[in-house]
Amino acid sequence: MPLIELKSVSKIYPLGSQQVIAVDDLSLSIEAGEFTVLAGPSGSGKTTLLNLIGCLDEPSRGEVWLDGQEVGGAPQPQLAKLRLRKIGFIFQSYNLIPVLTAAENAEFTLMLMGVPKSRRRQRVVELFAELGLAGLEERKPSDLSGGQQQRVAIARAMASQPAVVLADEPTASLDSQASEELLALMRRLNREQGATFVFSSHDPLVISRAQRVVTLRDGRLESDR
Amino acid sequence: MDLVLLAWKNLWRSRRRTLITLIALSFSLMLVQAFHNLSYGVYSAMIDSGVRAGSGHLVVYHQDYVASRDEQFSFAPGQLREQLSALAGVAEVLPRLYLPGLAQSSRESRGILLTGVIPQAEQRVNPFLRDLPTDQQLESLSGRQAILGSRLLKELQLKIGNKFVVTLQNASGDLVSEMFRVRGAVQTGIKTIDSSLLMVGHQRAAALAGLPGEIHELAIVLQSQKFERLVFPALQQLLKNHPQQVGLSWEEAMPNLANAIRLDYASQKFIFIILLLIVTIGVVNTLLMSVMERFREFGVILAVGASAMRLRLLVFSEALLLGLVSMLLGSALGSLATWYLQEVGINLRYFIDETLEFGGVVFDPVLRAAWDRPYMLQIAGFMLLLSLAAAVYPAIKAGRIKPAEAMRHH
Ligand SMILES: Nc1ncnc2c1ncn2[C@@H]1O[C@H](COP(=O)(O)OP(=O)(O)OP(=O)(O)O)[C@@H](O)[C@H]1O
Ligand SMILES: [Mg+2]
């Protein structure tokens, strides 16, 4: 059974009197442990697709299955719980809560889950060591570089050991070297810890590092290799 | 707990805005507390002097005397005075006989209210008598000495030591006269009292009226107003043996003063509520601004798995902390202001020259505050509630944020 399965999913946004078909009758399945990139030009539906998988949005048609469970149409509090337990999120930028330190940001999902402070800290120290963030625990996000901020976001996404980490253009605000480093790090976590990653990008360099490339165009699957 | 910590940190994110809101909240709380305590102090003093010079905290009348003020409704107090004096919290019990009559000097005559009292007891509690020099005080229950209102003294063209005659109708309806001698004069500042008061020993007055041992009023002065709750029920109990008599509180016996105070408190309350509401609107604005600024951040928090409820709680926690801090700060400032107003007070002499009268009672020109701690606590709690109420709309706003949209547009 695939970890993520989209069955003939469409997402249609009303736009004035017209409609925008952001995702058009798309079917896709992703297995646990995959390292998948969603590629495609701007407006092709990458963000929309990630939002559907991440339970941030509901499909207009079709079914979204996550870890053997259909998630479309569940009430909001339940979706929040699902996001908390099964999904890690990384966004393009401004991921972190500015008043919290790097470690507190990374602990945030564990805090929401009610994990005791000492266990939380222990997990974050491990992750920080692994992500090359050791010693930066008490820094505020504003005192970190863009690459470091994104790594803190990875730490937060990984802290609760979710079924899948979703990242929407995680390298878009980084220079090429930082992008390269971040990607290498995600790839290592994927190999060593078996973490499932689904992320979007239109950077050819990033795309070339992925194990599987799903290319979208106008909300449809253009290629999958 | 972590949520509260996050709320606290969020509060100090826009330090200036939070400080301004805090100051607005604290200052309005201080104003309300200090202003209330000032009027509380002034009224307490007023009630105290009104009660001491007037009918006491509690008073016993013949049931028909209350409405008619007809001197035929006198009564014999029996053991009441001794029984009441024995109660805890009772400072003085004052029997009084009130007889309307006519005073005549060699030159003038005036209508008066002959008041038979126990001089020593009155001197102990009545602030106007207490201020008289010893050689103007009444010396006995049965003597011919009299203390007159200052205006009456002037109108009768009398001087201390002069003789004059009082004529009144006795209990059997006959006109009787008696000679008195001016011992002293009091000035209360209240026109009707100063122009009609004629105070003499109780025995002499009762004998003249043919009502030996009888009184019209038994005024009970308490050590402080708070004993009223204790003594009033005891009085009612004692009065079971005196079915003709009724016991009243000062509010019933001096309705003018009580109503004046009530009216003033009511208008104050109105102003206070408006003040606090205006401040609350400011708090709504602050909280709403801070929620709108964090639209995207809230989107991230929701996306990573926080429920909308938790976000609402976060906003409420921020309001709660804001309210708590201003509650403490405001109460500290309010206490400081109260302390100043109690120690130094406000001297109205700088502003007004005349005697100050309010609801038929003269008061001290230096206004002084007194501590009304339950009220201070109550109003501080009320402010905390208002800050929470101010968070309702911003919290609803925060709870409605859709993470996907927040991320796309902000
Ligand atoms: N809330 C919305 N309301 C209306 N139209 C929307 C909304 N969200 C997305 N769209 C439209 O849906 C289409 C797909 O958008 P989406 O953001 O998923 O593309 P994308 O591949 O992520 O683009 P980019 O690379 O620019 O991020 C676009 O045409 C977009 O304008
Ligand atoms: Mg996008």
Summarize pLDDT for B91-101 with one digit per residue, the tens.
Answer: 999 999 999 99
Question: Cβ contacts (< 8 Å) between A100 and chain B: which residues?
Answer: 6, 9
Tell which atom from ligand 1 comes closest to the C-alpha of A48.
18
Which residues does B contribute to its contact with A (CB < 8 Å)?
2, 6, 9-10, 12-13, 296-297, 300-310, 402-404, 407-408
- State pTM to two decimals: 0.79
More confident residue, B176 or B66: B176
Cα(A43) to centroid(ligand 2), Å: 7
Q: Is the CB of A20 under 6 A from ligand 1?
A: yes
Q: Give the confidence band of B356 by pLDDT, cuts at 50, 70, 90.
A: low
pLDDT at B298 over 90: yes
Residues in chain A predicted with pLDDT less than 50, given as ranges, are: none
* Straight-line distance from the first to the last Cα atom of chain B, in angstroms, rounded to the nearest whole number: 29
Helix (H), strand (E) at residue B396: helix B392-399
3-state secondary structure at position B253: helix
Cα(A47) to centroid(ligand 2), Å: 4
pLDDT of residue B362: 63
Give the span between the Cα atoms of B345 and B338, in whole angstroms.
9
Give the span between the Cα atoms of B83 and A190, in whole angstroms.
93
Rounded to 5°, angle at Cα B319 from B318 and B323: 120
Q: Which amino acid is at B140?
A: S
Q: Tell which one of B402, B405, B408 to mutate to probe ligand 1, the residue whose CB is within 8 A of the most ligand atoms.
A: B408
Give the span between the Cα atoms of B84 and B81, in whole angstroms.
5
Q: Is the CB of A13 under 6 A from ligand 1?
A: yes
In angstroms, the Cα distances linking A207 to A223, B219, B225, B339 are 13, 98, 85, 73
pLDDT at B53 over 80: no
Question: Of all protein residues, whose CA lies closest to atom 24 belonging to ligand 1?
Answer: A42
Residues ≥6 apart with Cβ < 8 Å to B287: B315, B318, B319, B390, B391, B394
Give the span between the Cα atoms of A63 and A23, in whole angstroms.
13
Q: What is the mean pLDDT of residues B357-362?
A: 64
In angstroms, the Cα distances linking B320 to A107, B8, B208, B290, B343 are 25, 10, 71, 15, 34
pLDDT of residue B361: 62
In angstroms, the Cα distances linking B25 to A19, B17, B194, B279, B290 are 49, 12, 48, 6, 17
More confident residue, B354 or B90: B90
For B79, other C-beta atoms within 10 Å of its C-beta total 10
Does A99 contact B at CB distance below 8 Å? yes
pLDDT at B189 over 80: no
CB A99 to CB B13 under 8 A? Answer: yes
Counting ligands in written order, the one closest to the CA of A41 is 1
CB A99 to CB B9 under 8 A? Answer: yes
**pLDDT tens readout for residues B22-37:** 999 999 999 999 999 9
**Virtual torsion, Cα A26, A32, A33, A34, nearest 10 deg:** -10
Give the span between the Cα atoms of A115 and A97, in whole angstroms.
19
Nearest residue of A to residue B10, measured between CA atoms: A99
Tokens of B382: 């009320």
Domain residues of chain B, as ranges?
Answer: 2-50+258-407, 55-250
Question: Of all protein residues, whose CA lies closest to atom 10 belonging to ligand 1?
Answer: A22
Does A155 contact B at CB distance below 8 Å? no
Q: Tell which one of A10, A19, A24, A44 to mutate to probe ligand 1, the residue whose CB is within 8 A of the most ligand atoms.
A: A44
Give the span between the Cα atoms of B113 and B190, in whole angstroms.
15
Looking at every residue in chain B, the average pLDDT score rounds to 89
Half-sphere exposure of A155 (CA within 13 A, CB side): 32
Q: In what order do the strands lie in the sheet with A212-217?
A: A87-90, A164-168, A197-200, A35-39, A212-217, A220-224
**DSSP string for residues in A38-83:** EE-STTSSHHHHHHHHTTSS--SEEEEEETTEE-TT--HHHHHHHH
**pLDDT tens readout for residues B231-270:** 999 999 988 988 889 998 888 888 888 888 888 889 988 9
Neighbours of ion ligand 2 (CB under 5 A): A 47
pLDDT of residue B105: 92
Question: B137: which DSSP letter?
Answer: S
List, in sequence order, every residue forming a beta bridge with A69; answer none if it has no partner: A66
**CA B364 to mean position of chain CA atoms:** 14
**pLDDT tens readout for residues B72-86:** 899 998 888 999 999
Q: Give the confidence band of B357 by pLDDT, cuts at 50, 70, 90.
A: low
- For the question of an ipTM over 0.85, the answer is yes
Counting ligands in written order, the one closest to the CA of B402 is 1
Q: What is the mean pLDDT of residues B374-403?
A: 93
pLDDT of residue B50: 75
**pLDDT tens readout for residues B115-145:** 999 999 999 888 888 888 888 999 988 899 9
Tell which atom from ligand 1 comes closest to the C-alpha of B404.
1
**DSSP string for residues in B229-245:** HHHHHHHHHHGGG-TTE
pLDDT of residue A166: 95
List, in sequence order, every residue forming a beta bridge with A29; answer none if it has no partner: A5
